[in-house]
Amino acid sequence: MFKKIGAVALSTCLVLSAMSIPVFADKPDFAGKGNGNGKGGKKVENVIYMIPDGFSADYAANYRVYKGEDAVWDAHLKGMFTTYSANADITDSAAAGTALATGVKTNNGVIGLDPEGNELSTILDAAEEDGKSSGLVATSTITHATPASFVANVEDRNNQTEIARQYISSEVDVLLGGGQNMFLPEAEGGNQEELNLIEEASEAGFTYAQTREELLDSTDIEVEDGEKLLGLFAEEALAPELHRDESVEPSLAEMTETSIDILSEDKDGFFLMVEGSQIDWAGHANDAAWAMSDVAAFERAVEAAMEFAKKDGKTMVIVAGDHDTGGMTTGTGAVSGLHADILNDVTATGDFMAAQLDEGRSNVKEVVEEHTNLTLTEEEVQSIQAADSAPFAINTVVSNHAGIGWTSTNHTGADISIYAYGPQADKFVGFHDNTDLPKILAEILRVDFDN
């Protein structure tokens, strides 16, 4: 089993040196002194826990090239942490989410239970017991592994219908994402055997939103009066940012802003978890354009959170991925230099482009060039035509042009960066394990948290 090793001192030095990264003048100013500086013992009443699923340091480096300037989190790098699970060197999202939520290692595939099957409480539970309101936001189904880890207790992460049932009977106040089918009965095209959890949610005080417009109209919900919000904007997961219908599906930033607007009315404070879910899925597909565009959507959500924290003065914003996906590299032998900026011209995922190919794949050049602004060589065209997986072959060609490499289609054991903004942010400085993060948050919030 992988353990923390003697590289702690080196990692910490690297982290501390990275904290001097400059902030560009035309970006939101979150780098100055005051509440974002992270020093001192000023009280924290709110936590916004932001998880870019699958995101690691190489994603951050490529995103900087893609964007052309620093990301909003770069100036707030505080540390790094290990991610191994209780039964594997390489974690899955269920075990990683459980560690980030409960401070306890568990086996891959398990949510909210320790390796012996005992139920675990979460940092969200601790915040609720302290009188705070709470919320979960994701671009996957809201019942997916990472958000579920903060509320549910199930042996199998795939049991999303049970996770949905546990949500409705929990104390959580805001639930926003995809996954309508997880709440509806089979008779209505859903995955529940008989239960209509949307009806049960209404009886439990939830307002139900299905569209972006309905979400944006829901900010008058009073959580202190027992009102809640359930927003499910797709039958399954939301669309990748490259294909999001802005008239129907809200952005991750809009879901974050709405959640903050509602939860911040609670005088006792709030705990909000926000996941950029599909960065991970793009990594599994080795789809660099999908990855970078969803990182951009996630950054807009982080900017919204930090803007609130800057004005509020009592809010901690923490940005920490759960694990690396795909082993993305910054640079590849296929081309010279870093060219992730060309991904700004890509308008579709590899899956979408592959679906536009005719039966004989004779139109590869036309389809790929239409959606990427690249000029393909004959060798590249033939590689896509001959590939067992056309989407993967397209993604490989695009990544090669961008100077991005991949080592896997699965998760890796890479260490993950921690970024923190707000009072006491410096408590995250150093080299940690993923189980340390909720314990540090509990110390900052001054809540009882002991598994």
Encode pLDDT of 277-305 as tens digits.
999 999 999 999 999 999 999 999 999 99
- Asked whether residue 82 falls in the same domain as residue 216, the answer is yes
Assess if residue 432 is contained within a domain: yes
Same domain, 361 and 439: no
Residue closest to 320 by CA, chosen among 415, 440, 418: 418
pLDDT tens by residue, 406-442: 999 999 999 999 999 999 999 999 999 999 999 999 9
Residue 450 lies in a domain: no
Structural domain range at position 183: 8-20+35-328+411-445
Do 321 and 267 share a structural domain?
A: yes
Binding residues for Mg(2+): 53, 144, 146, 275
Q: In this predicted model, what pLDDT tens digit does every residue of 21-50 receive, in sequence order?
A: 333 334 566 654 444 656 656 899 999 999
Q: How far apart are CA 369 and CA 345, in angstroms?
A: 10
Distances from the Cα of 194 to the Cα of 188, 199, 253, angstroms: 9, 12, 34
The one-letter code for the residue type at 229 is L
Q: What is the pLDDT of residues 246-262, one digit of tens each?
A: 989 999 999 999 999 99
Nearest to 168 by CA among 149, 196, 138, 131: 196
Total length of the chain: 451
Same domain, 191 and 274: yes
In the predicted model, what is the mean pLDDT of residues 378-400? Answer: 98
Model pLDDT, residue 5: 37
In a domain, 29, yes or no: no
109 and 139: one domain? yes
Buried b (16+ CB within 10 A) or exposed e, 182-203: bbbbeeeebbbeebebbeebee
For residue 93, indicate whether it is catalytic: yes
User: 10 Å Cβ neighbour count for 254?
Assistant: 19
* pLDDT computed for residue 142 by the predictor: 98
pLDDT above 90 covers a percentage of the chain that reads: 88
Same structural domain for residues 182 and 245? Answer: yes
Q: Residue 85: inside a domain, yes or no?
A: yes
Count of structural domains within the chain:
2
The answer on 386 and 375 residing in a single domain is yes
pLDDT band at 340 (very low <50, low <70, confident <90, very high): very high
Would you say residue 151 has pLDDT above 70? Answer: yes
Assigned domain for 27 exists: no
pLDDT band, residue 335 (cuts 50/70/90) = confident
Q: Would 259 be classed as within a structural domain?
A: yes
- Which residue numbers belong to the known binding site for Zn(2+)? 53, 280, 284, 322-323, 411
Q: What is the CATH number of the domain that holds 103?
A: 3.40.720.10
Catalytic residue among 56, 93, 149, 264: 93
Q: Give the model's pLDDT for residue 42.
A: 84
Strand 174-178 versus strand 228-232 pairing type: parallel
305 and 394 both lie in a single domain: no
174 falls within a domain: yes
Q: List the one residue out of 185, 123, 130 whose CA is nearest residue 150.
A: 123
Residues 324 and 377 in one domain: no
Pair (292, 351) in one structural domain:
no
Angle at 388 between CA 385 and CA 393, to 5 degrees: 60
**Can you give the pTM of this predicted structure?**
0.92
Same domain, 66 and 173: yes
pLDDT band at 450 (very low <50, low <70, confident <90, very high): confident
Is residue 420 in some structural domain?
yes
pLDDT in tens, 187-214: 999 999 999 999 999 999 999 999 999 9
User: Nearest Cα to 317, choosing from 140, 143, 72?
Assistant: 72
Same domain? For 156 and 138 the reply is yes
Could you tell me the CA-to-CA distances from 37 to 4, 49, 273, 305 in Å, in that order? 28, 18, 22, 16
